[in-house]
Amino acid sequence: MKTLYLKASAAGFLLALALSPAAVFASHTVCRNVVVQDQPKDQHQIAGMAIGAVGGGLLGHQVGGGKGKTLATVAGAVGGGYAGKKIQEHQQAKHTHVERRCHKVED
């Protein structure tokens, strides 16, 4: 009785395997590592801009006299703000991690 059951089970399995779509279309999984940039907490680089503006304003204030001193302070603040933003932007671009991404490919 056991051999009859095993033969019937094996025959059913082979029939199911022959009729299944997987037997006609084989597939495999392809994976690759991808470097992903982390999302910064300060996306607009406000901290770098503020620190740069204060530093640039202080340096600009040391130059000139009268209205020239005011102009140098404003120019230093603007230039320092821009420089601070770019420096922070560059530093944030360094923060990355590697993710493994996989997908199925039909043969």
- Model pLDDT, residue 98: 93
Cα 87 to chain centroid, rounded = 19
- 63 Cβ partners below 8 Å, 6+ apart? 69, 72, 76
User: pTM score > 0.75 for this model?
Assistant: no
Cα 92 to chain centroid, rounded = 11
- Model pLDDT, residue 79: 95
- Model pLDDT, residue 4: 46
- Model pLDDT, residue 30: 94
- Model pLDDT, residue 5: 47
Domain boundaries of the chain, sorted by first residue: 27-106
Q: HEC states along 14-63?
A: HHHHHHCHHHHCCEEEEEEEEEEECCCCCCCCHHHHHHHHHHHHHHHHCC
Beta bridge partner(s), residue 31:
102
Report the alpha-carbon distance of residue 73 to residue 53 in Å, rounded: 10
pLDDT per residue of the chain (107 residues) written in tens, 0 to 9: 445 444 545 555 555 555 555 555 688 999 999 999 888 888 888 999 999 999 999 999 998 788 889 999 999 999 999 999 999 999 988 888 999 999 999 87
